[in-house]
Amino acid sequence: MSEAIAGEHRAVMGGYLREFLLEDPLIHVALMVQRPVLVVEHHVDRRTVRRSRAYHDFHRVYGFEHHMLVRFYGEHIREPGALSMGFTRNRRLPEFGARERRIAELVLPALQGAARRIATNQFLPAFERDAAPLVAERGLTTPLRPGSCTCCSSGSPTAKSPNVSASASTPSRRTFAAFSAS
């Protein structure tokens, strides 16, 4: 299940997801269209959205008329550990268009890089704890921190001896969705 982790309307997003996840036409688009930058209304008829209970009981109430979703971690929004950020505009503002989509596409690599660094650092203590026996057993002296290796160009953790190396396994992750309303 997705969880709102940030944003002005973070407190109401959990209720929205529980109440409308299965029936909101905007969520259906977000689940079906696998683009990292998605202007949601470009993929669903506005009349369909306005007829929905989700629009009447949630989007309209909070002034969420126009929606853009930026997924910056994970191959798909349903993927465990995926991170996305939703942007909304009220009825008095113009809908998101090609200009905003392009801006989001330009900042996407920075967001993706930040998310990768956060994920790597989040799991680093477990990696170091799990690697400690190998370090002791093999007499490794190079720090086992991803990206800190000075003995190879890849930045992967290795020993000073080229035939001794260690790597981290990917721990399980929870699914999050960060929604930021503007």
**pLDDT of 21:** 85
pTM here is 0.65
Q: Is 58 helix (H, G, I), strand (E, B) or coil?
A: helix
Q: What is the sign of the dihedral through the CA atoms of 47, 49, 51 and 56?
A: negative
Q: Is residue 15 classed as helix, strand or coil in its secondary structure?
A: helix
Bridge partners, 83 (sequence order) = 73
Q: Where are the alpha helices (DSSP H) in the chain?
A: 10-20, 25-32, 46-51, 53-54, 60-62, 98-122, 124-138
Q: How confident is the model over 134-174, as pLDDT tens digits?
A: 777 777 654 444 444 443 334 433 333 333 333 333 333 33
- Give residue-wise pLDDT tens across range 68-107: 999 999 888 888 888 899 999 999 999 999 999 999 999 9
The type of residue at 155 is G
Q: What does the pLDDT read at residue 151?
A: 38
d(CA 58, CA 55): 5
Band (pLDDT 50/70/90 cuts) for residue 33 is: very high
